[in-house]
Amino acid sequence: MAKTAIIGGGAAGFFCAIQLKTFCSDMEVTIFESKSRVLSKVEISGGGRCNCTNTFRNVTSLSQVYPRGFRLMNRLFKQFGPKEVYLWFENHGVDLVVQDDECVFPKSQDSHTIINCFLNEAYKLGIKIKLNSKIENPLSLFDEFDYVVLTTGGLSHNYEQKLSDFISVIPCVPSLFTFTIKDKALNLLMGLVVDDVKVTIPNTKLSSQGPLLITHWGVSGPSILKLSSYAARFLAENNYKSPLIINWSGITNTDSVYTELHDISTNNSQKQVSSYRPFGLQTRLWEYLLEKAEIKCKWGELGNKGINKLTNIICNDKYEIDGRAPFKDEFVTCGGVDLKNINMSTLESKQIPHLYFAGEILDIDGITGGFNFQAAWTTAYAVADAIQRTVKN
């Protein structure tokens, strides 16, 4: 009887184990978890709701949502993509709902629905789970197991060093984090959500668009988390210090912004600039921007110079990123096992037969919105399928 060891009791590890036992019912599958509990990351993901995938309906190219690894994901989606994931959960008793932003959650809005599904399936299929089992040398398991699958998630520096002894590893840095901005006036706007902004790191091609949340330490929200993913390497190399430009209107064409402000000025010439808010900007934010631009007059008194100044503060509001958030909230890492070292169809090591990788341990990571869990399910399925084909052949 073939035996498989899965190192890592997270999303990819459980999905791979369940799928493998489904394919090969007589195979012995053991999950080794270094901590005292499994699926802890799933539990806290999505604010405890678990954004388990995305419909991908708004995605025209996977490079938009996978800054690293999109070519591999393109290949693997043909085998097991978001539609297959949706059906898998529904067929295993997890009712799902799709939000307006195309993010998919369990209908219960509770991550424990996903966790219970995995644990129940593991129990039914006879998958062994060994807690508090830290495997220092994965290759040592080949003394007992025929196949070894690494699903340990983002790599710590120590584990990264150990893996690099037998496979090429791209150093891991955080992704999906918020920005610290030391601006007292901005920080006083904490709790304010602006529905559509564009954020850019100047002199680069790094930008993103979407909702932004102002916090007591700086800025957060989908637009910032996406930008942190795109700019993960750049920011790490610059010690998380960089200029940041916020376009509060979300309109990329500044001429359009200027034209709209000019029209407002013409049609509301006797009103105070502070009393008429363009682009749906909240009162507190608008007052903050006007004070920053030192504008206190009526719309009709702005003139071309004043409208240009207002256009600039709305479209090119400059800040300085001064580190990541003051607490560790990164759920994803950029980096991991170099994809050049694995078979792109099976995710098996090119150097070490029967050694496989799935999930975040690979140099694949996505932006916020369910894309990282999708990568976990897709890569885990690919590994399970590859092993079962090897066994049956």
Digit-by-digit pLDDT tens for the chain (393 residues) are: 899 999 999 999 999 999 999 999 999 999 999 999 999 999 999 889 999 999 999 999 999 999 999 999 999 999 999 999 999 999 999 999 999 999 999 999 999 999 999 999 999 999 999 999 999 899 999 999 999 999 998 877 777 888 888 899 999 999 999 999 999 999 999 999 999 999 999 999 999 999 999 999 999 999 999 999 999 999 999 999 999 999 999 999 999 999 999 999 999 999 999 999 999 999 999 999 999 999 999 999 999 999 999 999 999 999 999 999 865 545 689 999 999 999 999 999 999 999 999 999 999 999 999 999 999 999 999 999 999 999 988
| Residue 349 backbone dihedrals phi, psi, to 5 degrees | -60, 135
Cβ 276 vs Cβ 265: under 8 Å: no
Report pLDDT for 161: 83
Question: Within 13 Å and on the Cβ side, how many CA atoms surround 9?
Answer: 24
What is the rounded CA–CA span in Å between residue 46 and residue 53? 11
Which residue stretches of 222-342 are H helix? 222-230, 232-237, 254-267, 283-293, 303-315
Read off the amino acid at residue 261.
Answer: L
**Contacts by 200-206 with C-beta closer than 8 Å and gap 24+?**
200/227, 200/244, 200/245, 200/247, 201/227, 201/231, 201/234, 201/242, 201/243, 201/244, 201/245, 202/243, 202/245, 204/231, 204/234, 206/230, 206/231, 206/234
* Angle, helix 254-267 to helix 303-315, in steps of 10 degrees: 130
* Cα separation values, 326 from 205, 208, 217, 234, 312, Å: 27, 22, 8, 19, 30
Q: Which domains does the chain have, with CATH numbers?
A: 3-175+330-392 (3.50.50.60), 177-329 (no CATH)
CA distances to 11, 81, 275, 379 from 375, rounded to whole Å, are 10, 9, 48, 6
pLDDT at 326: 63
Which helix (H) or strand (E) element contains residue 98?
strand 96-98
Neighbour tally for 63: CB within 10 Å: 14
Q: What share of the chain is helix, strand, coil (3-state, %, to 5)?
A: 40, 20, 35
Rounded-to-integer distance, Cα 147 and Cα 20, Å: 11
pTM above 0.85, yes or no: yes
- What are the beta bridge partners of residue 197? 210
Candidates 104, 74, 76; CA nearest to 90 is: 104
Rounded CA separation 17/32 (Å): 11
Phi and psi torsions of 57, nearest 5°: -65, -30
Which residue type does 51 have? N
Q: What are phi and psi of 220, to 5 degrees?
A: -145, -160
The tokens 């599958």 sit on which residue?
29
Is there a contact between 66 and 365 (Cβ–Cβ < 8 Å)? yes
CA distances from 305 to 243, 256, 277, 293, 311 (A): 25, 16, 19, 12, 10
Residues 6+ apart with CB under 8 A from 151: 6, 7, 8, 10, 12, 13, 16, 357, 358, 359, 361, 380
pLDDT at position 278, please?
Answer: 95
For residue 11, count other CB atoms closer than 10 A to its CB: 29
